[in-house]
Structure 1
Amino acid sequence: MTNETESKNRKRRTRFTMVLRRVHLYAGLFLLPWVFLYGITGAMFNHYGLFSEANIVDVPSSALSGSALDDFPSADLLAQQVVEQLRLAVPDAKIEMVDSHQPEFVNDVILQVKEDKIKHLVHIDPVAKSAWVASSPDKKYQPDAMLAKIRNVDVPSRPYELAKTSVASVLESAGIGADGKSEPQGWCKLNFLATVDGTPARVTYVLRDGHVDVSKFEGKSGMSPRQFFMRLHTSHGRPPHWNARMMWSLFVDIMACAMVGWGVTGLVMWWQIKRTRLIGGAVMMLSIATAIGLYYGMIHFYAASKL
């Protein structure tokens, strides 16, 4: 290989690296709002008190000493009691607990108390026997109902029946020979704005059962800022129309591709810095080992738990 050829190859690699770094950089800058959204709201799902709109009071176990929680059974004891009752209910069955699996509570015991337009959510930790209370105004937004006496309408086109009838044709066209009866799944709705006696109204028609809801349109989502951003986090799927919801779903796809892209470009840039290869390789192996451990741990958790 001549010096000139080697120089050209080096320039190509340098140019490729520069393009890679720029893509990595500008994709991150463009998608920064989504990075912050998913990062912050992800933490909000895990921590109720983060940016909470409720007043949260922690109640330590010491403050609950002498209460009914003193008699709250441990996970082991409760599991034994459940098994004993199962044995009594089905005496012919041999029911034994598996020693290799520790009984565990899935989550807190949660109860709600309403008082003077204030909603108190009481979370009781069944293991530590402590608790915390989230108090917030019970101010669920309810737009003014219009045409309240009308609950259902029967439209002549009968769209849901047409969809059910077309299932056989869909399956046949897909090469699936299924003769079973189709059953409703989900709630396809038609939403549109109208006016009732000159007043703006939001109309929702449920295709499945013909239920119709007409309420005064005030341009409000009915969600608090916290609820709205968390709803954005969980929004998924694509509607059949091109609207803001469809555009959001496209950016979810872009964000997914960008995250994979950041991983790939990060690997390439890491490998190009020779002095970081050893430490970076060790960190990556630790990451892979941790991910594998959590993978099998979560598989076992969901296999042994019914949520």
Structure 2
Amino acid sequence: MRDDPAREPRAPQGRRPRQRYGAVMKVVRRVHMYLGLLVFPWILMFGISGVLFNHPQIGRDFERRAISAEQLSALTAFRPWDPDALARKVVEQLNAGSPSRYTLDEATRGAFSGWPELIGSTSDGGRTMLLISLDDGDATLATFPPAPPKPPDPPFAGATIELPEHRMAAVEAQVKDLLPSLGIAGGGPLRAHPEVSPELRFRMRDAESRLWNVTYDLGSGRLDGRLDDAAGQPLFVELLGMLHKTHHFPVHGGMTWIWALFADITGITLVLWALSGLAMWWQMKPSRVVGAVAVAVAIAVAAMVMSGTASDIVFGKAEKGGA
């Protein structure tokens, strides 16, 4: 007698969705891992150079000496400044020369941002740098050894080459009617950026067969350059900082274009790491409660720190337009 088909065992309900979920998480873990392997040199570079911005003394040869407020006061005429008293004087002077009447917000304490940086020199050709905390009077004195000899300045440095047809002024004149032609009314003519201009780069040899890397500023027409050799290269820590701050895709391809590409990939990887990390945490049921608390604390701390830092950055700065 044949078995009743209705009595045959059936596959557990939900088996296929669980299989699909497992397959998706497998892909997530692979992407998380292989993206990290692909960009780990960039992660290291951005991480190390980011720390160096906060600790510029690392990798540099210098001596640092702390000076207390009492010692500085005894040796010099400097006395700590009161930011609130100084703010009152500023408002008083503003009211004396203005028809408007301003009052100091007593609910907000005045505070100094930054510190005086005073530069000096030593008898052996080195240099000194004094940083003073204005409100408490403490100071830090850094002494740097003599710098290595600089490479020779180009004999053509600062020379101006007049090529009127290949200057930003010529481009400005050529596009002055572009906006009306495109139907954009109300705007004035396009102007060249006063501080940003492209440059022409090329190499040339002098009478002694030395090879020079030459730049020609298409805004000012000024020449500059350096010898094409290893002399005068920045310190490794300085080079890391320069790489960290290099951004934007150049007009043409090349290593800088590839650098910008990997910078994008690194940023995207960090985003995917954060999201895939959350997905992998959620997959581990025993740790969901602890993880939820950790995520909530992380979001709260990040929101507090980011908003406070943003307020400090934009304090007293009017929004400026720009390219």
TM-score bucket (shorter structure): 0.7 to 0.9
- After TM superposition, the score normalised by the length of structure 2 is 0.83
Equivalenced residues, count: 305
The structural deviation recorded for 1:300 is 2.9
Identity percentage of aligned residues: 25
Residue 213 (str. 1) matches residue 224 (str. 2): yes
Deviations 1:158-209, CA, capped at 9 Å, x for gaps: 2424421343465457653323351434031111212122221111100001
User: Which amino acid is 1:273 matched to?
Assistant: M
Residue 101 (str. 1) matches residue 108 (str. 2): yes
Name the CA shift for 1:259/1:235 in 2 (closer, same or farther; >3 Å). same
Name the CA shift for 1:157/1:97 in 2 (closer, same or farther; >3 Å). same
- Secondary structure of 2:59's counterpart equals coil
Query: Are the counterparts in 1 of residues 177 and 189 from structure 2 also a CA contact under 8 Å?
Result: no
- Which residue is 1:110 aligned to? 117
With 156-165 and 122-131 compared, the bigger mean Cα shift is at 156-165
The structural deviation recorded for 1:12 is 2.8
Query: Which residue of 45, 52, 57 corresponds with 1:49?
Result: 57
Residue 73 (str. 1) matches residue 81 (str. 2): yes
The structural deviation recorded for 1:78 is 1.6
Residue 184 (str. 1) matches residue 193 (str. 2): yes
User: Which amino acid is 2:50 matched to?
Assistant: G
Query: Are the counterparts in 1 of residues 49 and 240 from structure 2 also a CA contact under 8 Å?
Result: yes
Deviations 1:18-62, CA, capped at 9 Å, x for gaps: 221121112122222222222222122122333333322222334
Q: Return the alpha-carbon distance in structure 2 between the equivalents of residues 176 and 4 of structure 1.
A: 65
With 173-182 and 104-113 compared, the bigger mean Cα shift is at 173-182
- After TM superposition, the score normalised by the length of structure 1 is 0.87
Q: Return the alpha-carbon distance in structure 2 between the equivalents of residues 268 and 180 of structure 1.
A: 52
- Secondary structure of 2:220's counterpart equals coil
RMSD of aligned Cα (Å): 2.7
The structural deviation recorded for 1:101 is 2.0
- Which residue is 1:275 aligned to? 286
User: Which amino acid is 1:124 matched to?
Assistant: I
Name the CA shift for 1:228/1:174 in 2 (closer, same or farther; >3 Å). farther
Q: Return the alpha-carbon distance in structure 2 between the equivalents of residues 48 and 77 of structure 1.
A: 33
Name the CA shift for 1:298/1:216 in 2 (closer, same or farther; >3 Å). closer
- Which residue is 2:130 aligned to? 122
Q: Return the alpha-carbon distance in structure 1 between the equivalents of residues 307 and 299 of structure 2.
A: 12
User: Which amino acid is 1:194 matched to?
Assistant: M
With 225-234 and 13-22 compared, the bigger mean Cα shift is at 13-22
Residue 194 (str. 1) matches residue 201 (str. 2): no
- Which residue is 1:14 aligned to? 22
- Which residue is 1:291 aligned to? 302
Query: Are the counterparts in 1 of residues 156 and 223 from structure 2 also a CA contact under 8 Å?
Result: no
Query: Which residue of 210, 225, 250 corresponds with 2:261?
Result: 250
Structure exhibiting the larger radius of gyration computed from Cα positions: 2
Name the CA shift for 1:24/1:278 in 2 (closer, same or farther; >3 Å). same
Q: Return the alpha-carbon distance in structure 1 between the equivalents of residues 181 and 34 of structure 2.
A: 44
- Secondary structure of 2:120's counterpart equals strand
* Unaligned segments of structure 2, at least 5 residues: 1-9, 319-323
Q: Return the alpha-carbon distance in structure 2 between the equivalents of residues 42 and 106 of structure 1.
A: 21
